[in-house]
A and B are shown apart, each in its own frame.
Chain A
């Protein structure tokens, strides 16, 4: 056991840090520092800068544009991105459908889609969940019927994140309703969002923003070439995809960045004759979160280096720990921010979500805080809810 990063790794970290500092769009960084969401344009610009450098899809195989970094270097890179802070890559192409395509897709699909994902020329969204299929994803009922060299798709997806910007959606669809197990009749289809018969309806989330959508399919004709892998094997590809999703979800770097902002605000926000940070109880609560976060960071490094030994693409059930603890800490830090600004959490700025035009009520750092606290309730629900993750730990690790 050697508990230090090697000199090479440390040097690598410095190189990444310097590159990000020099190249990240300053406006995007400001947006993130203020606790706000980056725009589509900011994300596209940053992705292209990284792609220029060859770093937009570091975890992909080298032949498709990856870097060949080992999991530790990938971890360092991600950590530096979150701490900078720099916009995170849009996961739907980058970490979800991209790896599915290079692992299971046809040569044609690889040539056509992968370079456009790496450069964010195509905006992808994820069409898995349905009103009746959430935690029980295999219960999905969107139908795809083969007619000649096309599939005809009918049904509905929901919770489709950022689907309003999407050029493409990857969907799980039912191709064999008579299969003996419901997991067996599912296929993985790539669908152009401009195809006739697709309707996108916004869902307003709890804080008032537009981040998720319903997507309706009404006799949507999809070329059979857009089937990934084999018909009725979609569940295997989906499991592979969801396994990849969990590793990035802990958000240790992002939580560190939020704690930095929390301290800054607590040191500025008046309370009594001083500031919020003067209160030892408040500082203890922050310290307790930081300690848990340190433990999580170490756990994450252990999971990552075990993965480095085992080989990529085989998710460790221990990654459920990362998901649960990571999301709990994300939520805890948004709560502490609420406590720090106290009554000034109250004003709602519609402009906060749609672009601002009036001076804020109270301190200028207050406006995003309550919306973030509300919005972050989602993290223990999506990506496999925390209850489902505990079921995984109980079954897959403890054998219960």
Chain B
């Protein structure tokens, strides 16, 4: 085992960090998010130029074939800067769908646009009753004249408001809650019968509700087995959670840094408030929570591609528990130690706090994953 970054990994880290340092300070971030599409198209192009949109795809498909450690590096840097561009939606989620479900021809048709930044996909899975169970999908796909007809509603589709296309999970057979009978479909955002309503999210990003009324997709829009997409969906979920863990760690790291700097600088009672031992201890606890989270984000990255589904699930759930708990502890205390300025939009810390809260509620909160680990008999048995 080697926790040091390889030369190639260091290179990625340096180039992302350099870009974000120059273009993604807190004020710049607030400007990016105020743009019409909710992020900066210019930054998106810079991601393309740096190859960040390509890292996850295989070389045969026009990608860099880099793997989970590089995703972790990139997401961690994004977490520090609170990046609002649709990287998670398009590259991580939809990208995973293409890698795990699409044929070589389908990838050849779709990936180049994604890699060069001209198209962006969003992954539409959630419905009113889905909550944290991705098999709980009711939307239907009916075979019809050499293709399928999609009917139903999707919601909470991250960056669905500006995506140029979607990967949609829909049911060709079975009932909500059953893993069998699910398919993945790729379609353009302007497909006939598809309407969307965009909205802002609590953490300063965008999402959409989608409504499908008898939307036709041809046979070549089906990604993989129309009844057997579950293994691919499970992989999308695992990779997305691993990426979210890394993002959360980047944001936690920034919160600890901002808080330590703030308490050294803020004076009350004639001394820096860092002189109060209770605040020193609190900061120490935040730091410990960060390091525990970092370890588990690494653990998640190591296991995101694990072939044994049970082992993969246990590892990913364990990481999500730790991230949820550390994120809440660090977030709440970072705000508390900032005093009044911690609860204003004008300081960076509040935005990290909100992002942490939303990460916890994405793909299952800490309690949900704790239950999954417990129900599987805990962690030990699989080592």
Contacts and interface: CB of A to CB of B under 8 A. Distances in A.
B344 A203 contact: yes
A196 to B, nearest CB: 27
Instruction: List 3 A-B pairs, minimum CB-CB distance, nearest first.
Output: A136-B268, A206-B350, A204-B345
Given A135-B269, A272-B131, A281-B371, A346 B358 contact: yes
B371 A347 contact: no
Interface stretch (B15-23, B142-150, B199-207): B199-207
A382 B278 CA distance: 18
B199 A206 contact: no
A130 to B, nearest CB: 11
Contact of A134 (B133, B340, B357): B340
Interface string B318-354: 0000000000000010011001101111100010011
Contacts of A386: 336
19 contacts: A134-B340, A139-B268, A203-B346, A204-B344, A206-B350, A208-B345, A272-B131, A272-B136, A339-B365, A346-B362, A348-B200, A348-B202, A370-B354, A371-B202, A381-B339, A386-B336, A387-B279, A387-B336, A390-B278
A382 B336 CA distance: 10
Interface string A125-167: 0000100101110010000000000000000001100000000
Interface of B: 126, 128-133, 136, 155-156, 177, 197, 199-203, 207, 209, 267-270, 273, 276, 278-279, 332, 335-336, 339-340, 342-346, 350, 353-354, 357-358, 361-362, 365, 367, 371
A270 interface: yes
B131 A270 contact: yes
B131 A345 contact: no
Nearest to A132: B267
B177 A343 contact: no
Contact of B342 (A129, A204, A349, A377): A377
A189 to B, nearest CB: 22
B128 A206 contact: no
A132 B273 CA distance: 12
Nearest to A379: B343
Interface string A370-395: 11011101101110011100100000
Interface of B: prevailing SS: mixed
Contact of B276 (A344, A349, A387): A387
A135 B278 contact: no
Contacts, number: 135
Contacts of A348: 199-202
Contacts of B207: 346-347
A339 B371 CA distance: 14
Nearest to A382: B340
Contacts of B339: 134-135, 381, 385
A253 to B, nearest CB: 24
Nearest to A136: B268
B177 A370 contact: no
B343 A387 contact: no
Nearest to A363: B128
A377 B209 contact: no
A68 interface: no
Contacts of A222: none
Contacts of B201: 346-348
A350 interface: yes
Contacts of A344: 156
Of residues A135, A212, A273, A346, which shows the largest number of chain B Cβ atoms within 10 Å of its Cβ?
A346
A279 B342 CA distance: 34
Contacts of B346: 203-204
Contacts of B336: 377, 380-381, 385-387
A361 interface: yes
Given A204-B344, A204-B346, A362 B155 contact: yes
Nearest to A385: B339
A206 B345 contact: yes
Contacts of B342: 206, 377, 381
A136 B269 contact: yes
A346 B361 contact: yes
A111 B124 CA distance: 65
A286 interface: no
A345 B361 contact: yes
Nearest to A335: B328
B283 to A, nearest CB: 13
A338 to B, nearest CB: 7
Contact of B365 (A158, A342, A373): A342
Given A270-B129, A345-B358, A377 B335 contact: yes
B60 to A, nearest CB: 35
Given A270-B129, A361-B155, A362-B128, A338 B279 contact: no
Contacts of A345: 202, 357-358, 361
A205 B177 contact: no
B340 A159 contact: yes
A382 B338 CA distance: 12
Nearest to A360: B199
Interface string A27-57: 0000000000000000000000000000000
A241 interface: no
A9 B362 CA distance: 49
B155 A370 contact: no
A382 B159 CA distance: 36
B85 to A, nearest CB: 18
A272 B133 contact: yes
Given A346-B202, A370-B202, A338 B357 contact: yes
